[in-house]
Structure 1
Amino acid sequence: MSGETLHTRPQQPGTAHAARLATPADAEGIVRLRSAHVLDEPLPEEWIVRSGAELAARLVPGGDGRACVVDAPDGTLASCALALLHPVLPEPASPCGRAARVHTVATHPSWRGRGHAGSALTALLDLLRAEGVAPVEAEAPAGAAAFFRASGFRGSPAPMRLTWPGPAVRGRVDEKTGHVWLPPEQYAETVMKATGFACVLFTDAHDRPVQLHGVYSPTHPWQLAGGTMDPGERPWETAVRECREETGIELDGPPRLLATVYGLPGAEWPYSTMGLVFDGGRLDEARLGDIVLDPREHDEVRVLSLPEWRPLMPPRDFARLSAVMEARRTGVAAYFDTWDWGAE
């Protein structure tokens, strides 16, 4: 069924394109529609990527997400309707033991007034009905009650609806400005999360880069010696430790910085990545021959000229290596901020 057009209830001719079942590839587009046109405040880019990756995993067969979308002519999403399933105790109102909540119905402003939202929501409800999922709840935003009632929703007889948003925010209020100063542990939950790494560039006597072939990462097949920082480590300490573990080489310093590297989060990794590349110097034939690899991480050492590395590496990895080599040549540290996750 993945990606197929859903022919459910007939639409009035000329008012809406047919809805289709969303696939994991639509997840980030759904999140972006929700962020821009449903939420009071748009999500930061890091959270859009994280939420999109989470939703993609829930839209796979067997997952607990169901969504229907309408495509715009330019290939983006014109509209979407998303529901999330949850288990309930079986009873006459929910005989299959699953219920759902409509999480998002959104349409891009360029495509409103054409029936797209109704088409997506109708297809979604028909899909849930075919799976025996009931009841289906929705919290209608202000001004949208009539839209949901037109799709068959009815008001709830429950006397109240209470929402627990999580631990209360307790902070110090500045009497002059009214600004709320959060305790450090609560403020830390609001800021961008990132992982750090440190690595080392070695070359041979002819200034050809030395790289290790990774056994665990098809995304980054050829790597500099280095890795992720452990808690409490400083970048140079990480470089020394990782170099020793991966090659057997003991760095003696002092640290010579070649580049600062930054990458945005993506489907492969939910956090930003920041790291430092240090100069490990030139290795003669004897020292190259003494390299001892950890077979759990690398299975080959290779020394090639920079042009020879190009066809063996993803473009962004080669661009990073080129920037590091230029920094070695000029003595001016590089700033490389496009080493993004899932960019290719």
Structure 2
Amino acid sequence: MNSEALHARPQHSGSAPSKPAVRPATPADAEGIVRLRSAFVLGEPLTREWIARSGAGLAARLAPGGDARARVVDAPDGTLASCALALVHSVLPEPASPSGRAARVHAVATHPSWRRRGFGQAALTALLGGLRAERVSPVDADVPGAAAALFRASGFCGSLAPMRMTWPEPPLRGRVDEKTGHVWLPPEQYAETVMKATGFACVLFTDGRERPVQLHGVYSPTHPWQLVGGTMDPGERPWETAVRECREETGIELGGPPKLLATVYGLPGAEWPYSTMGLVFDGGRLDEARIRDIRLDPREHDEVRVLPLERWRPLMPPRDFARLRAVLEARRTGVAAYFDTWDWGTQ
């Protein structure tokens, strides 16, 4: 067995099909569409909770009689490679909208692995064709700057962004200390003023020769090779997250008690708007049979590798490699690491 490449990544053809296979979306596609929109359209990605809530809402709206219209292109692994989503709404009948129905395109998104193949343009063209067949007009669009050329190629014109109103936040209310003049806010209002952070928990596995085991992510060009683990769900404690993520990503059931290897902190940046705080636990050493039996979730990872530490350096961003090195050193010395420079990028 070659333990350095246990699960091969799928090989994609370098040439795109002349006509991407576009199909109408069904309620089963709702969460995939929401995930593409969250990751590649919205300025601030949705949390897992909001992805689930938005996906459930969209599934109902994609059902027969609903107001959502979408076209998708499938990837070979069963996930969505690309999507185009519009919502239909009622308007007053007039020459520009004789049917009394109009639409707004809320998302055209393609996963980075499948870009430059015409998938997004094909999905948008099919979506607009369906709306035209239903006599839905006019059609507006939320257009990020990077997608302007795609929309103009489909016939959209204009440059003014739509105006939007959100209800203002209520004024801060609290108890005033008569001696100092300090305002003591109610807990829920004070919570809105403090730093926001997301939490994660990871697990370091090595083989018998102390070589780190890592997974290749299919969704994150920023962090291509990753420790087993992920973001904490609401209500979870860090060790619970580590156990759940390990089961979901590898099929391995962690035993206790937890052994902490490192505390990790990162400042927010262009890649993520919140600070990041997490714990890395020791998952122990895996023999070749257990490594070979790792079961990947293809929606998240497509390869397992086992490499000596220095062989990881050219495969990872410097901050990811520095974190891996600190965690491995903590395993070697038995002294937990404090790693506070896992910052998000500025570009």
- Cα deviations across residues 252-300 of structure 1 (Å, max 9, x unaligned)? 1110000011111111111111000000000011111111111111111
Alignment partner of 1:223 is 2:232: no
After superposition, the Cα gap between the structure-2 partners of 1:59 and 1:248, relative to the gap in structure 1 and judged at 3 Å, is closer
Question: What residue identity is the alignment partner of 1:263?
Answer: G
Once the two structures are TM-superposed, the CA of residue 61 in structure 1 deviates from its matched residue by 8.2
- Cα deviations across residues 18-43 of structure 1 (Å, max 9, x unaligned)? xxxxxxxxxxxxxxxxxxxxxxxxxx
**CA contact under 8 A between 2:176 and 2:184: conserved in structure 1?**
yes
Partners in 2 of 1:59 and 1:257 — Cα distance?
A: 44
Structure 2 counterpart of 1:252, from 252, 255, 275: 255
Question: What residue identity is the alignment partner of 2:316?
Answer: M
Question: What residue identity is the alignment partner of 2:203?
Answer: V
TM-score in terms of structure 2 length: 0.53
After superposition, the Cα gap between the structure-2 partners of 1:243 and 1:176, relative to the gap in structure 1 and judged at 3 Å, is same
Partners in 2 of 1:165 and 1:244 — Cα distance?
A: 43
Once the two structures are TM-superposed, the CA of residue 166 in structure 1 deviates from its matched residue by 3.4
The equivalent residue for 1:320 is 323
Partners in 2 of 1:60 and 1:219 — Cα distance?
A: 19
Once the two structures are TM-superposed, the CA of residue 86 in structure 1 deviates from its matched residue by 6.7
Alignment partner of 1:183 is 2:191: no
Alignment partner of 1:171 is 2:163: no
Question: Any residues of structure 2 matched to 1:85-234 within 5 Å, and which?
Answer: 166-234=169-237
SS in 2 for 1:245: helix
- Higher relative contact order, chain-length normalized (CA < 8 Å, sep 6+): 2
SS in 2 for 1:266: coil
Partners in 1 of 2:275 and 2:303 — Cα distance?
A: 29
- Cα deviations across residues 98-150 of structure 1 (Å, max 9, x unaligned)? xxxxxxxxxxxxxxxxxxxxxxxxxxxxxxxxxxxxxxxxxxxxxxxxxxxxx
The equivalent residue for 2:4 is none
After superposition, the Cα gap between the structure-2 partners of 1:283 and 1:191, relative to the gap in structure 1 and judged at 3 Å, is same
The equivalent residue for 2:288 is 285
Partners in 1 of 2:177 and 2:204 — Cα distance?
A: 49
After superposition, the Cα gap between the structure-2 partners of 1:86 and 1:211, relative to the gap in structure 1 and judged at 3 Å, is closer
Partners in 1 of 2:221 and 2:169 — Cα distance?
A: 40
Question: What residue identity is the alignment partner of 1:285?
Answer: E
**CA contact under 8 A between 2:271 and 2:346: conserved in structure 1?**
no
After superposition, the Cα gap between the structure-2 partners of 1:166 and 1:248, relative to the gap in structure 1 and judged at 3 Å, is closer
Question: What residue identity is the alignment partner of 1:305?
Answer: P
SS in 2 for 1:324: helix
Bigger CA radius of gyration: 1
Alignment gaps of 5+ in structure 2? 1-142, 149-159
- How many residues are aligned here? 193
After superposition, the Cα gap between the structure-2 partners of 1:61 and 1:179, relative to the gap in structure 1 and judged at 3 Å, is same
Alignment gaps of 5+ in structure 1? 1-56, 63-84, 89-163
Identity over aligned pairs, percent: 86
- Cα deviations across residues 224-268 of structure 1 (Å, max 9, x unaligned)? 000000000000000000000000000011100000111111111
Question: What residue identity is the alignment partner of 2:183?
Answer: V
Partners in 2 of 1:191 and 1:326 — Cα distance?
A: 33
TM-score in terms of structure 1 length: 0.53
The equivalent residue for 1:338 is 341
